[in-house]
Chains A and B, each alone.
Chain A
Protein backbone atom coordinates (compact mmCIF):
# COMPACT_ATOMS: atom_id res chain seq x y z
CA UNK A 1 0.00 0.00 0.00
CA UNK A 2 2.80 2.39 0.93
CA UNK A 3 4.54 1.46 -2.33
CA UNK A 4 1.44 2.46 -4.30
CA UNK A 5 1.27 5.79 -2.45
CA UNK A 6 4.94 6.42 -3.18
CA UNK A 7 4.47 5.43 -6.80
CA UNK A 8 1.52 7.81 -7.13
CA UNK A 9 3.70 10.59 -5.74
CA UNK A 10 6.50 9.71 -8.15
CA UNK A 11 4.15 9.74 -11.14
CA UNK A 12 2.68 13.02 -9.97
CA UNK A 13 6.17 14.53 -9.87
CA UNK A 14 7.01 13.06 -13.25
CA UNK A 15 3.94 14.44 -14.97
CA UNK A 16 4.14 17.81 -13.21
CA UNK A 17 7.41 18.52 -15.01
CA UNK A 18 7.04 20.27 -18.35
CA UNK A 19 9.82 18.24 -20.03
CA UNK A 20 7.84 15.04 -19.50
CA UNK A 21 5.23 16.44 -21.86
CA UNK A 22 7.71 17.44 -24.54
CA UNK A 23 7.62 13.94 -26.02
CA UNK A 24 3.85 13.95 -26.30
CA UNK A 25 3.91 17.26 -28.14
CA UNK A 26 6.71 16.12 -30.45
CA UNK A 27 4.89 12.93 -31.38
CA UNK A 28 1.60 14.68 -32.07
CA UNK A 29 3.41 17.06 -34.40
CA UNK A 30 5.25 14.20 -36.10
CA UNK A 31 2.05 12.19 -36.55
CA UNK A 32 0.42 15.19 -38.19
CA UNK A 33 3.37 15.48 -40.59
CA UNK A 34 3.31 11.76 -41.47
CA UNK A 35 -0.42 11.96 -42.11
CA UNK A 36 0.04 14.97 -44.33
CA UNK A 37 2.70 13.05 -46.28
CA UNK A 38 0.36 10.03 -46.57
CA UNK A 39 -2.27 12.24 -48.15
CA UNK A 40 0.10 13.32 -50.92
CA UNK A 41 -0.55 11.79 -54.32
CA UNK A 42 3.10 10.75 -54.77
CA UNK A 43 3.18 9.02 -51.41
CA UNK A 44 0.00 7.10 -52.14
CA UNK A 45 1.42 6.07 -55.51
CA UNK A 46 4.53 4.73 -53.79
CA UNK A 47 2.52 2.75 -51.29
CA UNK A 48 0.20 1.45 -53.97
CA UNK A 49 3.26 0.09 -55.76
CA UNK A 50 4.48 -1.79 -52.67
CA UNK A 51 1.06 -3.23 -51.81
CA UNK A 52 0.12 -4.24 -55.35
CA UNK A 53 3.54 -5.76 -56.07
CA UNK A 54 2.72 -8.16 -53.24
CA UNK A 55 -0.55 -9.11 -54.87
CA UNK A 56 -2.73 -7.19 -52.46
CA UNK A 57 -5.47 -4.68 -53.04
CA UNK A 58 -4.37 -1.12 -52.29
CA UNK A 59 -7.77 0.17 -51.10
CA UNK A 60 -7.95 -2.49 -48.37
CA UNK A 61 -4.53 -1.67 -46.95
CA UNK A 62 -4.38 2.09 -47.37
CA UNK A 63 -5.90 2.37 -43.92
CA UNK A 64 -5.64 3.90 -40.49
CA UNK A 65 -4.20 0.64 -39.11
CA UNK A 66 -1.38 0.56 -41.68
CA UNK A 67 -0.58 4.23 -41.14
CA UNK A 68 -0.48 3.73 -37.35
CA UNK A 69 1.86 0.77 -37.77
CA UNK A 70 4.16 2.83 -39.99
CA UNK A 71 4.19 5.70 -37.49
CA UNK A 72 5.21 3.35 -34.68
CA UNK A 73 7.77 1.47 -36.75
CA UNK A 74 9.51 4.57 -38.04
CA UNK A 75 9.40 6.81 -35.03
CA UNK A 76 9.72 4.85 -31.84
CA UNK A 77 13.41 3.94 -32.03
CA UNK A 78 14.56 7.29 -33.31
CA UNK A 79 12.26 9.89 -31.81
CA UNK A 80 10.80 7.93 -28.89
CA UNK A 81 14.22 6.91 -27.61
CA UNK A 82 15.14 10.57 -27.09
CA UNK A 83 12.26 11.13 -24.69
CA UNK A 84 12.62 7.81 -22.89
CA UNK A 85 16.31 8.53 -22.35
CA UNK A 86 15.52 12.08 -21.25
CA UNK A 87 12.90 11.11 -18.68
CA UNK A 88 14.73 8.05 -17.33
CA UNK A 89 18.07 9.88 -17.32
CA UNK A 90 16.52 12.63 -15.23
CA UNK A 91 14.65 10.55 -12.73
CA UNK A 92 17.46 10.16 -10.19
CA UNK A 93 20.26 12.41 -11.45
CA UNK A 94 18.08 15.52 -11.77
CA UNK A 95 16.72 15.15 -8.25
CA UNK A 96 20.24 14.80 -7.00
CA UNK A 97 21.37 17.84 -8.96
CA UNK A 98 18.44 19.93 -7.72
CA UNK A 99 18.96 18.83 -4.12
CA UNK A 100 15.56 17.14 -3.80
CA UNK A 101 17.16 13.86 -2.80
CA UNK A 102 18.40 15.43 0.45
CA UNK A 103 14.80 15.95 1.49
CA UNK A 104 13.91 12.40 0.52
CA UNK A 105 16.88 10.97 2.38
CA UNK A 106 15.71 12.63 5.56
CA UNK A 107 12.82 10.14 5.38
CA UNK A 108 12.86 6.56 6.59
CA UNK A 109 12.92 5.00 3.13
CA UNK A 110 15.62 2.65 1.90
CA UNK A 111 17.56 3.45 -1.25
CA UNK A 112 16.43 0.21 -2.84
CA UNK A 113 12.80 1.05 -2.19
CA UNK A 114 13.29 4.55 -3.57
CA UNK A 115 14.86 3.18 -6.74
CA UNK A 116 12.13 0.57 -7.15
CA UNK A 117 9.51 3.33 -6.96
CA UNK A 118 11.36 5.45 -9.51
CA UNK A 119 12.07 2.53 -11.84
CA UNK A 120 8.42 1.45 -11.78
CA UNK A 121 7.40 5.01 -12.64
CA UNK A 122 9.85 5.05 -15.57
CA UNK A 123 8.54 1.70 -16.84
CA UNK A 124 4.93 2.91 -16.62
CA UNK A 125 5.82 6.13 -18.41
CA UNK A 126 7.62 4.23 -21.19
CA UNK A 127 4.88 1.68 -21.66
CA UNK A 128 2.02 4.18 -21.56
CA UNK A 129 3.84 6.56 -23.89
CA UNK A 130 3.98 3.89 -26.60
CA UNK A 131 0.24 3.35 -26.26
CA UNK A 132 -0.33 7.08 -26.39
CA UNK A 133 1.54 7.20 -29.69
CA UNK A 134 -0.49 4.26 -31.00
CA UNK A 135 -3.86 5.63 -29.91
CA UNK A 136 -3.21 9.23 -30.96
CA UNK A 137 -1.68 8.07 -34.26
CA UNK A 138 -4.67 5.89 -34.93
CA UNK A 139 -7.14 8.66 -34.00
CA UNK A 140 -5.44 11.08 -36.36
CA UNK A 141 -5.27 8.45 -39.11
CA UNK A 142 -8.99 7.73 -38.69
CA UNK A 143 -9.68 11.45 -39.07
CA UNK A 144 -7.61 11.47 -42.26
CA UNK A 145 -8.54 8.22 -44.03
CA UNK A 146 -11.45 6.71 -42.05
CA UNK A 147 -11.47 3.74 -39.71
CA UNK A 148 -12.04 0.90 -42.13
CA UNK A 149 -9.45 -1.27 -43.81
CA UNK A 150 -6.90 -3.94 -42.94
CA UNK A 151 -3.31 -3.89 -41.77
CA UNK A 152 -0.31 -4.23 -44.04
CA UNK A 153 3.04 -5.05 -42.42
CA UNK A 154 6.41 -5.09 -44.12
CA UNK A 155 9.64 -5.01 -42.08
CA UNK A 156 12.57 -6.14 -44.24
CA UNK A 157 15.23 -5.99 -41.50
CA UNK A 158 13.44 -8.52 -39.28
CA UNK A 159 12.04 -10.31 -42.36
CA UNK A 160 8.41 -9.93 -41.36
CA UNK A 161 5.66 -9.64 -43.91
CA UNK A 162 1.97 -9.90 -43.10
CA UNK A 163 -1.40 -8.69 -44.31
CA UNK A 164 -4.58 -8.73 -42.26
CA UNK A 165 -7.58 -7.75 -44.34
CA UNK A 166 -9.95 -8.04 -41.38
CA UNK A 167 -10.03 -4.89 -39.21
CA UNK A 168 -10.43 -6.81 -35.92
CA UNK A 169 -7.45 -9.05 -36.57
CA UNK A 170 -5.39 -6.06 -37.69
CA UNK A 171 -6.36 -3.98 -34.65
CA UNK A 172 -5.57 -6.86 -32.30
CA UNK A 173 -2.12 -7.34 -33.87
CA UNK A 174 -1.44 -3.63 -33.68
CA UNK A 175 -2.37 -3.54 -29.97
CA UNK A 176 -0.17 -6.58 -29.35
CA UNK A 177 2.75 -4.97 -31.14
CA UNK A 178 2.27 -1.75 -29.14
CA UNK A 179 2.61 -3.83 -25.97
CA UNK A 180 5.72 -5.42 -27.47
CA UNK A 181 7.27 -2.04 -28.33
CA UNK A 182 6.42 -0.80 -24.83
CA UNK A 183 8.28 -3.72 -23.23
CA UNK A 184 11.18 -3.36 -25.68
CA UNK A 185 11.59 0.34 -24.99
CA UNK A 186 11.78 -0.32 -21.25
CA UNK A 187 15.28 -1.61 -21.95
CA UNK A 188 16.28 1.76 -23.32
CA UNK A 189 14.77 3.46 -20.27
CA UNK A 190 16.64 0.96 -18.07
CA UNK A 191 19.97 1.97 -19.61
CA UNK A 192 19.22 5.64 -18.95
CA UNK A 193 17.95 4.81 -15.46
CA UNK A 194 21.17 2.96 -14.64
CA UNK A 195 23.29 5.92 -15.69
CA UNK A 196 21.01 8.25 -13.77
CA UNK A 197 21.96 6.36 -10.59
CA UNK A 198 25.64 7.15 -11.16
CA UNK A 199 27.36 10.33 -10.05
CA UNK A 200 26.76 12.14 -13.34
CA UNK A 201 24.69 15.01 -14.68
CA UNK A 202 21.21 14.14 -15.97
CA UNK A 203 22.10 15.36 -19.46
CA UNK A 204 25.12 13.04 -19.47
CA UNK A 205 22.91 10.05 -18.57
CA UNK A 206 20.64 10.89 -21.51
CA UNK A 207 23.45 11.43 -23.99
CA UNK A 208 25.37 8.28 -23.02
CA UNK A 209 22.17 6.22 -23.37
CA UNK A 210 21.42 7.58 -26.81
CA UNK A 211 25.03 7.05 -27.84
CA UNK A 212 24.84 3.40 -26.79
CA UNK A 213 21.58 2.98 -28.69
CA UNK A 214 22.83 4.57 -31.88
CA UNK A 215 26.22 2.81 -31.80
CA UNK A 216 24.39 -0.49 -31.33
CA UNK A 217 22.17 0.30 -34.32
CA UNK A 218 25.11 1.38 -36.49
CA UNK A 219 27.24 -1.67 -35.68
CA UNK A 220 24.30 -3.95 -36.28
CA UNK A 221 24.10 -2.60 -39.81
CA UNK A 222 27.69 -3.66 -40.59
CA UNK A 223 27.75 -6.75 -42.87
CA UNK A 224 30.54 -8.20 -40.68
CA UNK A 225 28.18 -8.33 -37.69
CA UNK A 226 25.34 -9.98 -39.59
CA UNK A 227 25.95 -13.45 -38.07
CA UNK A 228 25.99 -11.88 -34.62
CA UNK A 229 22.99 -9.61 -34.98
CA UNK A 230 21.01 -11.40 -32.29
CA UNK A 231 23.60 -10.22 -29.75
CA UNK A 232 22.72 -6.59 -30.39
CA UNK A 233 20.33 -4.95 -27.96
CA UNK A 234 18.47 -3.08 -30.67
CA UNK A 235 17.92 -6.31 -32.60
CA UNK A 236 16.38 -7.88 -29.51
CA UNK A 237 14.34 -4.73 -28.97
CA UNK A 238 13.01 -5.09 -32.51
CA UNK A 239 11.58 -8.50 -31.64
CA UNK A 240 8.18 -6.87 -31.22
CA UNK A 241 7.81 -7.08 -35.00
CA UNK A 242 7.54 -10.86 -34.64
CA UNK A 243 4.19 -10.24 -32.98
CA UNK A 244 2.98 -9.24 -36.44
CA UNK A 245 3.83 -12.58 -38.04
CA UNK A 246 0.77 -14.58 -39.14
CA UNK A 247 1.94 -17.55 -37.06
CA UNK A 248 3.36 -16.37 -33.78
CA UNK A 249 6.69 -17.98 -33.02
CA UNK A 250 6.64 -18.08 -29.23
CA UNK A 251 10.17 -19.52 -28.76
CA UNK A 252 11.59 -16.65 -30.82
CA UNK A 253 9.58 -14.10 -28.83
CA UNK A 254 10.34 -15.63 -25.44
CA UNK A 255 14.05 -15.82 -26.26
CA UNK A 256 14.24 -12.14 -27.14
CA UNK A 257 12.10 -10.90 -24.26
CA UNK A 258 13.93 -13.13 -21.75
CA UNK A 259 17.17 -11.56 -23.04
CA UNK A 260 15.72 -8.08 -22.53
CA UNK A 261 14.32 -8.96 -19.10
CA UNK A 262 17.69 -10.29 -17.97
CA UNK A 263 19.35 -7.16 -19.30
CA UNK A 264 16.85 -4.91 -17.51
CA UNK A 265 17.38 -6.71 -14.20
CA UNK A 266 21.15 -6.43 -14.63
CA UNK A 267 20.95 -2.72 -15.47
CA UNK A 268 18.74 -2.04 -12.46
CA UNK A 269 21.06 -4.00 -10.19
CA UNK A 270 24.15 -2.12 -11.40
CA UNK A 271 22.32 1.19 -10.93
CA UNK A 272 21.19 0.20 -7.47
CA UNK A 273 24.69 -0.88 -6.40
CA UNK A 274 26.13 2.41 -7.62
CA UNK A 275 23.38 4.35 -5.85
CA UNK A 276 23.62 2.30 -2.66
CA UNK A 277 27.34 2.84 -2.24
CA UNK A 278 27.29 6.56 -2.98
CA UNK A 279 27.61 9.27 -0.38
CA UNK A 280 25.14 12.13 -0.60
CA UNK A 281 26.54 15.16 1.16
CA UNK A 282 24.04 17.61 2.60
Chain B
Protein backbone atom coordinates (compact mmCIF):
# COMPACT_ATOMS: atom_id res chain seq x y z
CA UNK B 1 0.00 0.00 0.00
CA UNK B 2 2.78 2.43 0.93
CA UNK B 3 6.44 2.05 0.18
CA UNK B 4 9.06 4.53 1.35
CA UNK B 5 12.48 3.87 -0.12
CA UNK B 6 15.78 5.40 0.92
CA UNK B 7 14.35 8.67 2.22
CA UNK B 8 17.03 11.25 2.86
CA UNK B 9 16.42 14.84 3.86
CA UNK B 10 18.74 17.50 5.19
CA UNK B 11 17.65 20.64 7.04
CA UNK B 12 20.30 23.30 7.56
CA UNK B 13 23.09 20.89 6.73
CA UNK B 14 21.94 18.31 9.26
CA UNK B 15 20.23 15.12 8.10
CA UNK B 16 16.67 14.89 9.44
CA UNK B 17 16.19 11.56 7.67
CA UNK B 18 19.01 9.31 6.67
CA UNK B 19 18.20 6.50 4.26
CA UNK B 20 14.92 5.52 5.88
CA UNK B 21 12.81 2.84 4.24
CA UNK B 22 9.62 1.13 5.33
CA UNK B 23 6.67 -0.55 3.77
CA UNK B 24 3.02 -0.81 4.81
CA UNK B 25 0.94 -3.74 3.67
CA UNK B 26 -2.76 -3.34 2.94
CA UNK B 27 -4.88 -3.39 6.09
CA UNK B 28 -1.89 -2.99 8.37
CA UNK B 29 -1.50 -0.53 11.22
CA UNK B 30 2.10 0.60 11.27
CA UNK B 31 3.63 2.70 14.01
CA UNK B 32 6.42 5.18 13.53
CA UNK B 33 8.13 5.84 16.84
CA UNK B 34 10.86 8.16 17.97
CA UNK B 35 11.74 11.13 20.15
CA UNK B 36 11.01 14.66 19.06
CA UNK B 37 13.23 15.44 16.11
CA UNK B 38 13.76 11.78 15.25
CA UNK B 39 12.30 12.30 11.78
CA UNK B 40 8.70 11.11 12.20
CA UNK B 41 7.07 14.33 11.02
CA UNK B 42 9.57 14.76 8.20
CA UNK B 43 8.65 11.25 7.03
CA UNK B 44 4.97 12.16 7.10
CA UNK B 45 5.70 15.43 5.29
CA UNK B 46 7.47 13.52 2.53
CA UNK B 47 4.61 11.02 2.28
CA UNK B 48 2.17 13.90 1.79
CA UNK B 49 4.45 15.74 -0.64
CA UNK B 50 4.80 18.68 1.72
CA UNK B 51 8.52 18.10 2.05
CA UNK B 52 10.69 17.26 -0.95
CA UNK B 53 13.25 14.57 -0.12
CA UNK B 54 16.86 15.09 -1.20
CA UNK B 55 16.86 11.42 -2.13
CA UNK B 56 14.37 8.59 -2.07
CA UNK B 57 10.76 8.16 -3.01
CA UNK B 58 7.37 7.31 -1.56
CA UNK B 59 4.91 5.25 -3.53
CA UNK B 60 1.27 4.84 -2.59
CA UNK B 61 -0.37 1.96 -4.36
CA UNK B 62 2.52 2.05 -6.82
CA UNK B 63 2.12 5.77 -7.62
CA UNK B 64 5.02 8.06 -6.75
CA UNK B 65 4.08 10.95 -4.47
CA UNK B 66 7.08 12.92 -5.72
CA UNK B 67 6.12 12.51 -9.38
CA UNK B 68 2.31 12.34 -9.32
CA UNK B 69 1.27 13.82 -6.00
CA UNK B 70 -2.41 14.42 -6.77
CA UNK B 71 -2.94 10.91 -8.11
CA UNK B 72 -0.99 9.30 -5.29
CA UNK B 73 -2.96 11.12 -2.58
CA UNK B 74 -6.39 10.54 -4.11
CA UNK B 75 -7.26 7.90 -1.51
CA UNK B 76 -5.33 9.23 1.46
CA UNK B 77 -6.63 10.90 4.60
CA UNK B 78 -4.45 12.59 7.21
CA UNK B 79 -4.79 13.91 10.73
CA UNK B 80 -2.27 16.10 12.48
CA UNK B 81 -1.59 16.90 16.08
CA UNK B 82 -3.54 20.09 16.91
CA UNK B 83 -5.37 20.27 13.58
CA UNK B 84 -5.70 23.84 12.35
CA UNK B 85 -9.12 24.52 10.88
CA UNK B 86 -10.58 27.83 9.76
CA UNK B 87 -11.71 28.83 13.24
CA UNK B 88 -14.00 31.59 12.04
CA UNK B 89 -16.12 29.09 10.08
CA UNK B 90 -18.36 26.24 11.15
CA UNK B 91 -17.26 22.62 11.17
CA UNK B 92 -19.60 21.96 8.25
CA UNK B 93 -18.12 24.81 6.18
CA UNK B 94 -14.63 23.57 6.95
CA UNK B 95 -15.48 20.12 5.65
CA UNK B 96 -17.04 21.63 2.55
CA UNK B 97 -13.95 23.71 1.78
CA UNK B 98 -11.48 20.92 2.43
CA UNK B 99 -13.49 18.47 0.36
CA UNK B 100 -13.44 20.99 -2.47
CA UNK B 101 -9.76 20.11 -2.81
CA UNK B 102 -10.56 16.39 -2.91
CA UNK B 103 -12.92 16.25 -5.83
CA UNK B 104 -16.14 17.60 -4.36
CA UNK B 105 -18.38 17.65 -1.33
CA UNK B 106 -21.05 15.01 -0.84
CA UNK B 107 -23.46 16.30 1.82
CA UNK B 108 -24.98 12.88 2.51
CA UNK B 109 -21.60 11.22 2.97
CA UNK B 110 -20.55 14.11 5.19
CA UNK B 111 -23.62 13.69 7.40
CA UNK B 112 -22.88 10.00 7.83
CA UNK B 113 -19.27 10.61 8.78
CA UNK B 114 -20.21 13.44 11.15
CA UNK B 115 -22.69 11.16 12.92
CA UNK B 116 -20.08 8.46 13.07
CA UNK B 117 -17.54 10.69 14.79
CA UNK B 118 -20.25 12.02 17.11
CA UNK B 119 -20.17 15.64 16.03
CA UNK B 120 -23.69 15.99 14.67
CA UNK B 121 -24.87 18.39 17.38
CA UNK B 122 -22.01 20.85 16.97
CA UNK B 123 -21.18 20.66 13.31
CA UNK B 124 -22.94 23.99 12.64
CA UNK B 125 -20.98 25.82 15.36
CA UNK B 126 -17.89 27.85 14.67
CA UNK B 127 -14.72 25.78 15.12
CA UNK B 128 -13.29 28.36 17.52
CA UNK B 129 -15.88 27.13 20.06
CA UNK B 130 -14.70 23.49 19.79
CA UNK B 131 -12.71 21.68 22.45
CA UNK B 132 -9.51 19.89 21.48
CA UNK B 133 -11.37 16.58 21.42
CA UNK B 134 -14.03 17.98 19.11
CA UNK B 135 -11.39 19.38 16.76
CA UNK B 136 -9.81 15.97 16.65
CA UNK B 137 -13.18 14.44 15.78
CA UNK B 138 -13.62 17.00 13.02
CA UNK B 139 -10.11 16.16 11.82
CA UNK B 140 -11.12 12.54 11.74
CA UNK B 141 -14.26 13.40 9.77
CA UNK B 142 -12.30 15.39 7.16
CA UNK B 143 -9.78 12.59 6.82
CA UNK B 144 -12.51 10.00 6.28
CA UNK B 145 -14.56 11.94 3.75
CA UNK B 146 -12.52 11.13 0.66
CA UNK B 147 -13.11 7.44 1.61
CA UNK B 148 -9.40 6.84 2.09
CA UNK B 149 -7.65 3.52 1.84
CA UNK B 150 -4.65 4.88 3.69
CA UNK B 151 -4.90 6.97 6.84
CA UNK B 152 -1.91 8.95 8.10
CA UNK B 153 -2.09 9.87 11.76
CA UNK B 154 0.47 12.32 13.14
CA UNK B 155 0.33 12.31 16.95
CA UNK B 156 -3.47 12.27 16.80
CA UNK B 157 -4.07 11.48 20.46
CA UNK B 158 -1.78 14.15 21.88
CA UNK B 159 -3.67 16.35 24.30
CA UNK B 160 -6.72 14.09 24.47
CA UNK B 161 -8.04 12.88 27.81
CA UNK B 162 -7.88 9.12 28.54
CA UNK B 163 -11.50 8.69 27.49
CA UNK B 164 -10.81 10.48 24.23
CA UNK B 165 -7.70 8.40 23.59
CA UNK B 166 -9.65 5.18 24.14
CA UNK B 167 -12.46 6.34 21.86
CA UNK B 168 -9.98 7.28 19.16
CA UNK B 169 -8.15 3.96 19.40
CA UNK B 170 -11.34 1.94 19.20
CA UNK B 171 -12.54 4.03 16.28
CA UNK B 172 -9.36 3.41 14.26
CA UNK B 173 -9.32 -0.29 15.11
CA UNK B 174 -12.99 -0.45 14.06
CA UNK B 175 -12.16 1.18 10.74
CA UNK B 176 -9.45 -1.32 10.04
CA UNK B 177 -11.76 -4.21 10.90
CA UNK B 178 -14.67 -2.86 8.91
CA UNK B 179 -12.95 -1.37 5.87
CA UNK B 180 -9.54 -2.98 5.89
CA UNK B 181 -7.99 0.47 6.07
CA UNK B 182 -4.21 0.82 6.18
CA UNK B 183 -2.97 3.17 8.89
CA UNK B 184 0.36 4.87 9.53
CA UNK B 185 0.41 5.91 13.17
CA UNK B 186 3.06 8.42 14.10
CA UNK B 187 3.35 8.78 17.86
CA UNK B 188 5.47 8.79 20.95
CA UNK B 189 2.69 7.35 23.14
CA UNK B 190 4.14 3.87 23.35
CA UNK B 191 1.22 2.25 25.12
CA UNK B 192 -1.13 3.45 22.36
CA UNK B 193 1.17 2.22 19.64
CA UNK B 194 1.39 -1.14 21.34
CA UNK B 195 -2.39 -1.42 21.57
CA UNK B 196 -3.01 -0.37 17.99
CA UNK B 197 -0.13 -1.32 15.74
CA UNK B 198 0.79 -4.55 14.04
CA UNK B 199 4.33 -3.44 13.29
CA UNK B 200 6.51 -0.56 14.34
CA UNK B 201 9.64 1.20 13.21
CA UNK B 202 11.77 3.20 15.59
CA UNK B 203 13.61 6.25 14.35
CA UNK B 204 16.59 7.77 16.10
CA UNK B 205 18.30 10.90 14.82
CA UNK B 206 16.83 10.37 11.37
CA UNK B 207 17.78 6.72 11.09
CA UNK B 208 15.57 3.69 11.31
CA UNK B 209 17.10 1.71 14.14
CA UNK B 210 14.42 -0.93 14.51
CA UNK B 211 11.53 -2.50 12.69
CA UNK B 212 9.49 -5.42 13.90
CA UNK B 213 6.08 -6.67 14.78
CA UNK B 214 4.55 -5.75 18.11
CA UNK B 215 3.77 -9.43 18.65
CA UNK B 216 7.49 -10.20 18.40
CA UNK B 217 8.18 -7.90 21.31
CA UNK B 218 5.88 -9.89 23.46
CA UNK B 219 6.83 -13.32 22.25
CA UNK B 220 10.53 -12.76 21.61
CA UNK B 221 13.36 -13.23 24.03
CA UNK B 222 11.70 -14.15 27.34
CA UNK B 223 12.35 -11.85 30.28
CA UNK B 224 12.12 -12.87 33.94
CA UNK B 225 11.92 -10.91 37.12
CA UNK B 226 14.14 -12.60 39.66
CA UNK B 227 15.00 -12.20 43.32
CA UNK B 228 18.37 -13.73 44.12
CA UNK B 229 20.57 -13.77 47.12
CA UNK B 230 23.84 -13.42 45.22
CA UNK B 231 23.98 -11.62 41.89
CA UNK B 232 27.69 -12.22 41.41
CA UNK B 233 27.49 -15.97 40.87
CA UNK B 234 24.16 -15.65 39.06
CA UNK B 235 25.61 -13.15 36.56
CA UNK B 236 28.43 -15.51 35.66
CA UNK B 237 26.01 -18.40 35.18
CA UNK B 238 23.40 -16.45 33.20
CA UNK B 239 25.96 -14.89 30.87
CA UNK B 240 27.46 -18.33 30.40
CA UNK B 241 24.15 -19.54 28.94
CA UNK B 242 23.93 -16.58 26.54
CA UNK B 243 21.36 -14.76 28.65
CA UNK B 244 21.56 -11.14 29.76
CA UNK B 245 21.24 -9.15 32.96
CA UNK B 246 18.72 -6.37 32.50
CA UNK B 247 17.84 -3.38 34.66
CA UNK B 248 15.39 -3.60 37.56
CA UNK B 249 16.16 -7.15 38.69
CA UNK B 250 15.33 -8.65 35.34
CA UNK B 251 17.14 -11.19 33.23
CA UNK B 252 16.63 -12.53 29.75
CA UNK B 253 17.27 -16.12 28.75
CA UNK B 254 18.18 -17.46 25.35
CA UNK B 255 15.15 -18.30 23.19
CA UNK B 256 14.02 -21.88 23.82
CA UNK B 257 15.60 -22.23 27.24
CA UNK B 258 13.25 -23.78 29.77
CA UNK B 259 13.01 -21.54 32.87
CA UNK B 260 12.99 -24.67 35.08
CA UNK B 261 16.43 -25.52 33.68
CA UNK B 262 17.55 -21.97 34.45
CA UNK B 263 16.37 -22.19 38.06
CA UNK B 264 18.04 -25.58 38.47
CA UNK B 265 21.27 -24.21 36.99
CA UNK B 266 21.26 -21.20 39.28
CA UNK B 267 20.69 -23.38 42.35
CA UNK B 268 23.49 -25.70 41.27
CA UNK B 269 25.73 -22.62 40.89
CA UNK B 270 25.08 -21.89 44.55
CA UNK B 271 22.56 -19.09 44.06
CA UNK B 272 19.55 -18.97 46.33
CA UNK B 273 16.50 -18.17 44.18
CA UNK B 274 13.66 -16.44 46.08
CA UNK B 275 11.53 -15.47 43.11
CA UNK B 276 11.56 -16.31 39.38
CA UNK B 277 8.60 -14.98 37.41
CA UNK B 278 8.12 -14.45 33.70
CA UNK B 279 7.32 -10.83 32.81
CA UNK B 280 5.84 -9.44 29.68
CA UNK B 281 8.23 -7.08 27.87
CA UNK B 282 6.45 -3.94 26.94
CA UNK B 283 7.11 -1.88 23.85
CA UNK B 284 8.46 0.76 26.19
CA UNK B 285 11.15 -1.66 27.43
CA UNK B 286 12.22 -2.43 23.89
CA UNK B 287 12.03 1.22 22.85
CA UNK B 288 14.21 2.35 25.74
CA UNK B 289 16.69 -0.44 25.16
CA UNK B 290 17.01 0.50 21.51
CA UNK B 291 17.30 4.20 22.14
CA UNK B 292 19.84 3.54 24.88
CA UNK B 293 21.81 1.59 22.32
CA UNK B 294 21.30 -1.77 24.00
CA UNK B 295 19.05 -3.18 21.32
CA UNK B 296 20.29 -4.34 17.98
CA UNK B 297 19.40 -2.15 15.01
CA UNK B 298 17.92 -3.81 11.99
Contacts and interface: CB of A to CB of B under 8 A. Distances in A.
Do the two chains bind? yes
Interface of A: 2, 5-6, 8-9, 12-13, 16-18, 98-100, 102-110, 114, 277, 279-282
7 contacts: A102-B50, A105-B49, A106-B73, A107-B98, A108-B72, A282-B44, A282-B50
Given A12-B93, A279-B45, A5 B100 contact: yes
Interface stretch (B21-29, B76-84, B227-235): B76-84
Given A106-B152, A107-B102, A108-B73, 19 more contacts: A5-B104, A9-B97, A13-B89, A99-B83, A99-B84, A100-B86, A102-B50, A102-B80, A103-B80, A103-B98, A106-B76, A108-B69, A108-B70, A279-B52, A280-B50, A281-B41, A282-B44, A282-B45, A282-B48
B187 interface: no
Nearest to A105: B50
Nearest first, the 5 A-B pairs at minimum CB distance are: A99-B84, A107-B101, A106-B78, A9-B97, A108-B73
A109 B152 CA distance: 17
A282 B89 contact: no
B254 to A, nearest CB: 42
A6 B89 CA distance: 16
Contacts of B78: 106
B136 interface: no
Interface of B: 11, 41-42, 44-45, 48-52, 69-74, 76-78, 80, 82-86, 88-89, 93, 96-98, 100-105, 142-143, 146, 152, 154
Nearest to A8: B100
B69 A110 contact: yes
B143 A106 contact: yes
Given A279-B51, A279-B52, A103 B102 contact: no
Given A9-B97, A100-B84, A281 B51 contact: yes
Nearest to B155: A282
A170 B76 CA distance: 57
B219 to A, nearest CB: 34
A104 B70 CA distance: 12
Contacts of B44: 282
B50 A281 contact: yes
B101 A100 contact: no
A17 B143 CA distance: 24
Contacts of B11: 279
Contacts of B83: 99, 102-103
Contacts of A105: 48-50
